[in-house]
Amino acid sequence: MIASVFVTLFFFSHSDLATTALFRAVAFASMTFFFALSGKLLRHVSSGTLIRLGIGGGALYFLLLFLLREESIRWFVPLGVLDGFTGGVFWAGFNLNQYILSSAGRRVAYFGWGQALFQLAVGLGPAIGGGIITIIGSTAIGKTGGYITLFIVVSLLLALVAVLVGRLPGHEIPVFRYRHILYHRRSRLWNIVLAQQAVLGLYDVALGTVLSILYYLIVQHEGRLGLMYSIGALIAALSSVAVTRLLVRFPHSFWIGAAGSALAITLFASQQNLIGVWSIIIISSLTVPFMMTMFSTAYFDALDRAPGAWQHKFHLMIERDGLLAIFRMISYLVLFALLQVGDEIAIARTMLFVLPAFPLAIGVLLQLSTRLQKEVPPAPSLPSEIV
């Protein structure tokens, strides 16, 4: 998080929004492949090793950005493939451990507190990243020097994390065949959960890319932009703590997140100035944790209702992760195609008026899955072993 926003701005400043969107599409195509490959890799390496590989791949990715500098844009395809590798192997291992270590009935608290700790951990990242670019950019080496200094700092930090990351609990090898994805019987609940993933993938990361560029065109200062992102992260951390109590008492309060996200996007689309930037950051930071905590809970609760122990459900995880990555890739390809029509910034600003429909659609799908979960009890599971 310390540099992810600024990678987007770096690519945009040395190319355009369309090329940046194409780079992200390549990354998610690569991520889909490595999600699928993780089912084979877990026969030979542990999920903890996958997580280390992902973090180590991230260190290499930022090192290459540092070495290639302005030439990075010419190498956006191999860089996108590497970015997809890091995300694919990291999230495959991380999500598997989340499911094993979280317990049914307590997932709202698990994801709420997890989200709060994550936001606190990364909260200072954008401010630090923007500060590095601003301070170094004010010297003789210029703004590009500020960006590449940030990239080498992040590379070294990720390399250190890859070495120091603690050993995760051992677990049995998942039972996985690719034909499981093709031929398993999908319940109505699982189809709704997959629909939730598809809708999220159609707008979340593409919206983040567009917003970061539009914010920067308004703010015109990396340091101030980073500070605004950090304030948003800290607000989201506080909101996530409140979510752990409110969602348990009022399960349908996820609508606060769905409606709040739609309102925030609409306000910024209507008022693209500094007031609009602060409006979307504050409103979305306060409300979106309600939706995303229930979103993750609904996914894992649906896994609980599939028969068998967790070892027999890895194909469901791959199906979900792969579907989400595919629809994120599609969102960037659609964005790339739309930007060919005319002025890309004007098109990006206009498309914001369509996007509020997506979080509202997720709200409807969460309503359906919440109702079905009450009707379908968790399936009896086979005994599993965690060592």
Residue 359 lies inside a defined structural domain of this protein: yes
> What value does the mean pLDDT take over residues 360-386?
73
Instruction: Read off φ and ψ for residue 176, nearest 5 degrees.
Output: -140, 130
Q: Is 383 inside any structural domain?
A: no
Residue 385 forms part of a structural domain: no
Q: Is 0.85 topped by the overall pTM? A: yes
Residue 386's pLDDT is 35
84 domain residue, yes or no: yes
Q: Which three-class secondary structure string do you get for 196-261? A: HHHHHHCCHHHHHHHHHHHHHHHHCCHHHHHHHHHHHHHHHHHHHHHHHHHHHHCHHHHHHHHHHH
Per-residue pLDDT at 191: 94
| pLDDT score, position 319 | 92
Reported as a pLDDT band with limits 50, 70 and 90, residue 61 is: very high
Domain-embedded: residue 382? no
Torsion of CA 328, 195, 186, 45, to 10 degrees: 30
157-189 confidence digits (pLDDT tens)? 999 988 887 666 666 677 777 888 888 888 899
Q: Per the structure, how many domains does the chain have?
A: 1
In a domain, 384, yes or no: no
The percentage of residues in the chain with a pLDDT greater than 70, rounded to a whole number, is 90
The set of long-range contacts for 115-118, using a CB threshold of 8 Å and a minimum separation of 24, is 115/236, 115/237, 115/240, 115/243, 115/289, 115/292, 115/293, 116/237, 116/238, 116/240, 116/241, 116/244, 117/237
- Under the banding of pLDDT at 50, 70 and 90, the label for residue 218 is very high
Cα separation, 331 vs 63, whole angstroms: 28
pLDDT of the residue at 382: 41
State yes or no: pLDDT of 383 exceeds 50: no
Q: Could you give the count of Cα atoms lying within 13 Å of 371 in the half-sphere of its Cβ?
A: 7
CB count in 10 Å sphere of residue 210:
24
Q: Is the pLDDT of residue 93 over 90?
A: no
> What is the average pLDDT value for the chain, to the nearest integer?
87
What is the average pLDDT across 322-342? 94
Identify the pLDDT of residue 385. Answer: 39
pLDDT of residue 84: 94
Asked if residue 105 is part of any domain, the answer here is: yes
Contacts of 183 (CB under 8 A, 6+ apart): none
Whether the per-residue pLDDT at 258 is higher than 90: the answer is yes
Average the pLDDT over 56-82 and give the result: 94
Question: DSSP labels for 125-188?
Answer: HHHHHHHHHHHHHTSTTHHHHHHHHHHHHHHHHHHHHHHHPPPPPPBPPP---HHHHHHSPPPH
Highest averaged pLDDT of the listed ranges 107-116, 234-243, 244-253, 347-356: 347-356
Q: Do the domain assignments include residue 380?
A: no
Domain extent at residue 270: 4-375
- What tens digit of pLDDT does each residue of 114-158 get? 767 777 767 778 888 888 898 888 887 888 889 999 999 999 999
CATH of the domain at 335: 1.20.1250.20
Higher pLDDT, 274 or 310: 274
* CA 144 to the chain's CA centroid: 26
Name the nearest CA neighbour of 352 among 243, 256, 214.
214
